[in-house]
Structure 1
Amino acid sequence: MAERKGGGTVKDRKTLIGKTLRAKIFNMVSVGVIDEPINRFYDFLSIVALVLNLFSAFAITYNYMEEHYKGLLLGIEAVTTFFFAIDYILRLLSANELYPKDSELTSLRKYILSFTGIVDLLSFLPYYLSVFFPVFFPAGTAVFKLFRVARILRLFRINSYYDQLNVITEVINRKKQQLMASVFIILILMMAASLCMYSVEHDRQPKVFKNAFSGIWWSASTLLTIGYGDIYPVTIMGKILAIIIAFLGVGMVAIPTGIISAGFVEQFQRLKDIGEFEEEENIHFIRVVLGSNDSWTGKKIADIGLPKDIMVVAVQRNNETIIPRGSTVLRANDLIVLCAEKTKELQPVAIKEIVINEGHSWNNTAIRDIDISRQSYIFMVRRDNKALVPNGKLVIKAGDIVLLYDKHLHNENI
């Protein structure tokens, strides 16, 4: 049996240390987690490496830059690509923190097969394949040059810093069904146009329109209003069909464009309405679930002694909503909805929200043992979507969200 130290076996302590280290790594590689200096530094380093890598990829395409600074640009690419490889390894090590409900193998598989995992892998793997296996994977091939585009996709991680960029993602998610429907219709029209053009042009241009699918390129360039011109009809009937298909193409391309434009308008209007409502609304609503030992349980609403500016607007009991009166008796497990007028004259309370993970110093620590300033105190702990009123015996656990009132911050706001 393994030797016990500090209330647990050596194996248990090693496991705990491993989980703590993995959680710290996960916090470091997660964009936007800036609670510690090393996390902020890693975010800064990631952005710098990505910008330098993209700069070198673009700059080396210029003859002057390649002639005078080729060595420097290739060096920048080598160093930044090595950073991408290290970043990928760190994300593999901390994949279980990204999917905490899954096993380690399952979380690894989910990350590797995810969109971000594939982008991270393509950011460095083609480079090293061409370095170590130049015969089988020459660096100058068009496929390997194409894989450099994957590094640009890493820019989407900057979304974590700017909420405005999330509007694009939200619009696409909200309108994805309409967009998929419009794309499906365009594909049907492309195939129909290709088949029609083959029927009327095959006899005159057998080498150009060899089969029904040979007109796909022509139909795509016509429907999408590109008009490349390498394939075109020569018969009168073919030209008439081309005119009709071109008109349909203008309308069909306008459909997804209109859907996305309408989505942006709706989203910005929604954000504006929410902002205006938040500014104009002068009422706060509070929900409270009564326990069997609460002082209000078993009393009439008229007898609980609410201040004059607070009123009970609804009571939910056993999936039934009761419009309360003064004679309504409150029971255990009732969900009470209170409303109060918002006082604009008061200064805002400075509240700090702290997310606890495996690597946090407060994890598995009782509140009374936490070393915080006398000017600060914990007034709420959220755990599993439940609000806990803290006391000295409450042990903070990984996954908790701690709400901290800091008087210094409050005084700075004032």
Structure 2
Amino acid sequence: MSDIKKKSSRRRIFDIIQIGNKDDLISRSFDWFIVTVIILNILTVFLDTFDELSSLKGVFRIIEGMTVIVFCVEYILRIWTADLLYPDKKPLAARGRFLLSFDGIVDLLTILPFFFLSGFIVFRMLRVVRILHLFRVNAHYDSFHIITTVLVEKCNQIISSVFIIIVLMLASSLGIYSAEHDAQPEAFRNAFSGIWWSVSTLLTVGYGDIYPITVIGKLMAICIAFLGVGVVAIPTGIISAGFVEQYTKNQHSDMRISDINEVGEVLVDKNSDFRSKTVREVSEKYCIQILVILRNGLTIVPIEDVTIKTNDILIIRTEKLVKS
């Protein structure tokens, strides 16, 4: 009986420290508590750098210590319940996977500077990453997931645009070096000096610490400045188009089952209730009929034992229409 109670308490702690749903008040309260502690920790670190507030350094140290204690307790609880996060692994392997996961490494790096690495206080800013997981665009599709999806889908186009930028950067750096080296041997001592100038010009920053003085160099700078506007616009346009595509896709596929009166399309993301369930389980629980499963460009026949995975697109219709 004690083992059952222990497992039940571990499950409850796991549900609380994970990102909560709106129906679980305690879990949602814990999320907001952690956000408050993170903001308080970062604010204390910033205020501690002001000489005018040197008299409050003791107070800042106490607040910082209390927030770090909260982080340590949370970190220990996450290690303790890691086997519930990775149910397919043994407890020791699950804890090892959490320690080496992105969240585990971020948690560790934000705690260590307080005890050992005082010079690496900037690592505490990584706590902001945790806040990103707590805010959603809507109940089923968060902004961070959209960003990663766009970057993955547009990876080839982005790499191509970056390659174009590198080629233009090298060409302009060699060109400006050839034009300005004799006139400004100190400013343009080598090709690397030209690279610094070409980067600041192509990316339209224009620091002004190095600039051409010869007629050829100035003409070259004008052309490169115009090219820079287009170069910056290329990856920006690719990413913007990707966001529009994802938003449109989300608008059409992220809908409630009750809103589908005829055949509809549903996107299964990492927060969907359909994920990791079989076709039979989803059909019986939500009274729907899954007609087709679209997965990575393939069409899957929705046999009852087929497991629904993340990023699957389901073509469904309600049971009511099936019976009519």
State the TM-score, normalized to the length of structure 1: 0.55
Q: What is the one-letter code of the residue matched to 1:260?
A: I
| Residue 58 of structure 2 is aligned to residue 99 of structure 1 | no
Q: What is the one-letter code of the residue matched to 1:98?
A: L
- Cα distance between partner residues in 2 of 1:150 and 1:275: 31
Alignment of 1:163-312 (within 5 A): 163=139, 166-176=142-152, 177=155, 178-274=157-253, 282-283=261-262
- Give the number of equivalent residue pairs: 279
Which stretches in structure 1 are left out of the alignment for 5+ residues? 1-5, 7-12, 131-138, 290-311, 322-332, 343-414
1:171–1:260 CA contact under 8 A, matched in 2 = no
**Highest CA radius of gyration, 1 or 2?**
1
Q: What is the one-letter code of the residue matched to 1:51?
A: I
- Do the aligned partners of residues 29 and 236 (structure 1) sit closer, same or farther apart at CA in structure 2, a change above 3 Å counting? same
- Deviation of residue 106 (structure 1)? 4.3
Residues 369-404 of structure 1: CA deviation (Å, up to 9, x unaligned): xxxxxxxxxxxxxxxxxxxxxxxxxxxxxxxxxxxx
- Cα distance between partner residues in 2 of 1:261 and 1:167: 14
Q: What is the one-letter code of the residue matched to 2:61?
A: L
1:284–1:340 CA contact under 8 A, matched in 2 = no
- Which residue of the partner structure matches residue 55 of structure 1? 43
- Cα distance between partner residues in 1 of 2:55 and 2:319: 70
- Do the aligned partners of residues 127 and 257 (structure 1) sit closer, same or farther apart at CA in structure 2, a change above 3 Å counting? same
Q: What is the one-letter code of the residue matched to 1:157?
A: H
Which stretches in structure 2 are left out of the alignment for 5+ residues? 265-278, 281-288, 292-298, 306-315
> Cα RMSD between the aligned structures?
4.1
- Cα distance between partner residues in 1 of 2:7 and 2:92: 15
2:172–2:198 CA contact under 8 A, matched in 1 = yes
- Deviation of residue 188 (structure 1)? 3.3
- Do the aligned partners of residues 270 and 41 (structure 1) sit closer, same or farther apart at CA in structure 2, a change above 3 Å counting? closer
2:201–2:228 CA contact under 8 A, matched in 1 = yes
Partner of 1:283, secondary structure, is coil
2:204–2:225 CA contact under 8 A, matched in 1 = yes
- Which residue of the partner structure matches residue 103 of structure 2? 116
- Do the aligned partners of residues 120 and 183 (structure 1) sit closer, same or farther apart at CA in structure 2, a change above 3 Å counting? farther
- Do the aligned partners of residues 109 and 340 (structure 1) sit closer, same or farther apart at CA in structure 2, a change above 3 Å counting? closer
- Cα distance between partner residues in 2 of 1:109 and 1:188: 43
- Do the aligned partners of residues 266 and 18 (structure 1) sit closer, same or farther apart at CA in structure 2, a change above 3 Å counting? same
Greater CA drift, 94-103 or 156-165 = 156-165
- Which residue of the partner structure matches residue 382 of structure 1? none
Alignment of 1:136-151 (within 5 A): 139=118, 141=119, 144-151=120-127
- Deviation of residue 80 (structure 1)? 0.7
2:83–2:94 CA contact under 8 A, matched in 1 = yes
Residues 330-357 of structure 1: CA deviation (Å, up to 9, x unaligned): xxx9xxx987666xxxxxxxxxxxxxxx
- Do the aligned partners of residues 148 and 282 (structure 1) sit closer, same or farther apart at CA in structure 2, a change above 3 Å counting? closer
- Do the aligned partners of residues 27 and 161 (structure 1) sit closer, same or farther apart at CA in structure 2, a change above 3 Å counting? farther
- Cα distance between partner residues in 2 of 1:86 and 1:280: 43
- Deviation of residue 18 (structure 1)? 6.8
- Deviation of residue 257 (structure 1)? 1.9
1:283–1:341 CA contact under 8 A, matched in 2 = no
| Residue 57 of structure 2 is aligned to residue 78 of structure 1 | no
1:159–1:165 CA contact under 8 A, matched in 2 = no
Partner of 1:226, secondary structure, is coil
Q: What is the one-letter code of the residue matched to 1:183?
A: V
Higher helix share: 2
